[in-house]
Structure 1
Amino acid sequence: MQHRSPEFAEINPMRKVPAIMHADFKLFESHAILVYLASAFPGVADHWYPADVHKRAKIHSVLDWHHSNLRRGSVEYLFNTLVAPEFGLPLDQKAADVGEKLLSASLAMIESYWLEGDGPFLLGNSQPSIADLALVCEIMQLEVADEKDRDRILVGHTRILKWIEDTKNVTAPYFDEIHSVMPLIKENLAELKAKQANNEGK
């Protein structure tokens, strides 16, 4: 994989995605990249990362919460139900259950708090910000899970499902383009999981 190559390590020594190069400037970590892209180009609409310091602070509160809650739960759940075999590790249902509990609590917080307000986007905004991009993309990772598991986790979260659809519509056609790889990832992970189960059964 490209991100494990020596060339990629020159951009991100941790050899993880995402990472970018803009001219000779190198940057990694998704939230930092979003902030940079929204700030470095004068044509970017203000609603993505407002100049108002109070609005920016609110966006950063969402992003900081994201890392220790939604992302942590999502990663722990998906890694221990699907991704572990990619790294030669066994699946761990107990760890997956812990991750799902945090993931479900995080979704409930988005539904009841972060999506409060008159607008359809996070913080009650009428237009999306980089926080919407970060959190929606995190939830979209569930597309690689089994459909019944994804539906079980998202059941009842009607505001979240509408918010995802609103974000998709406002970022079309790029949203579908970015996530078009998800079916292939899902297929590959399912094959690895089946292969591991077959090996364990021998």
Structure 2
Amino acid sequence: MTLKLYVDRMSHACREVIIFCKLNGIDFEEVHIDLSKRQHLSPEYREINPIRQIPAIMDGRFKLSESHAILRYLACAFPRIADHWYPTDLYKRAKVESVLDWQRTTFPRGSDSYVFYSVLGRAVGMPLNTKAAARTEKNLIASLALIESVWLRKKVGFCLG
């Protein structure tokens, strides 16, 4: 049975799961859930994810939501996935968990808000908010600087521990 991904590519959380699957050769069927049409609120989608958020997966009869839970599941469910994605070593896994938590809690304060205030807000009929865009751009730049100075520093040579 094919893995089904319930996604809208406008969501970075959905793109994370899609990219992981593609990088690791995981076959999947992409089921588009159009957020702009509120398809995530439909009774049909509620059967997939009662929380009504994306992404979600269905692997056989098993259903799961939340992008990082999905990534962890996929890394463990498919034996051919390289250990570096979600290491069995406790210390290395803790480093991956740290990055996943930071990415979910800190990074969006800049990235999501900046994209919303500078691009997506206008796409849904809201006026451009240049003050908010400028404020959130500073947060985005600070977050990107952390990525470069902590996870991509030359001494380490790679991201995610």
TM range (shorter): 0.5 to 0.7
Task: Give, in angstroms, the shift of residue 65 of structure 1.
Answer: 0.9
Greater helix share, structure number = 1
**Paired residue type of 1:19:** A
Unaligned runs of 5+ in 1: 125-202
Task: Report whether the alignment pairs 1:21 with 2:62.
Answer: no
Task: Give, in angstroms, the shift of residue 73 of structure 1.
Answer: 1.0
Q: Deviations over 1:98-146 (max 9, x none)?
A: 221111001101111112354532145xxxxxxxxxxxxxxxxxxxxxx
Partner of 1:38: 75
User: What is the alpha-carbon distance in structure 2 between the residues aligned to residue 43 and residue 25 of structure 1?
Assistant: 20
Q: Deviations over 1:43-95 (max 9, x none)?
A: 21111111001100001111111122222211100011111234443332222
Task: Report the TM-score when normalising by structure 1.
Answer: 0.55
**Paired residue type of 1:58:** K
* Residues 117 and 123 in structure 1, CA contact (< 8 A), matched pair in contact too: no
Task: Report the TM-score when normalising by structure 2.
Answer: 0.67
Change in Cα spacing, 1:85 to 1:10, as seen in structure 2 (3 Å) is: farther
**Paired residue type of 1:51:** T
User: What is the alpha-carbon distance in structure 1 between the residues aligned to residue 79 and residue 106 of structure 2?
Assistant: 32
2:85 to 37, 48, 52: 48
Q: What is the percent sequence identity of the aligned residues?
A: 57
Partner of 1:99: 136
Extract structure 1 runs of 4+ deviating beyond 4 A.
Answer: none
Greater strand share, structure number = 2
User: What is the alpha-carbon distance in structure 2 between the residues aligned to residue 102 and residue 58 of structure 1?
Assistant: 23
Task: Give, in angstroms, the shift of residue 5 of structure 1.
Answer: 3.4
* Residues 114 and 122 in structure 1, CA contact (< 8 A), matched pair in contact too: yes
SS of equivalent to 2:57: strand
Task: Give, in angstroms, the shift of residue 16 of structure 1.
Answer: 3.1
Partner of 1:72: 109
1:8 to 45, 69, 77: 45
Q: Deviations over 1:12-64 (max 9, x none)?
A: 34433221111122112211111110011222111111100110000111111
| Aligned 1:18-167 pairs, distance under 5 A | 18-116=55-153, 118-123=155-160
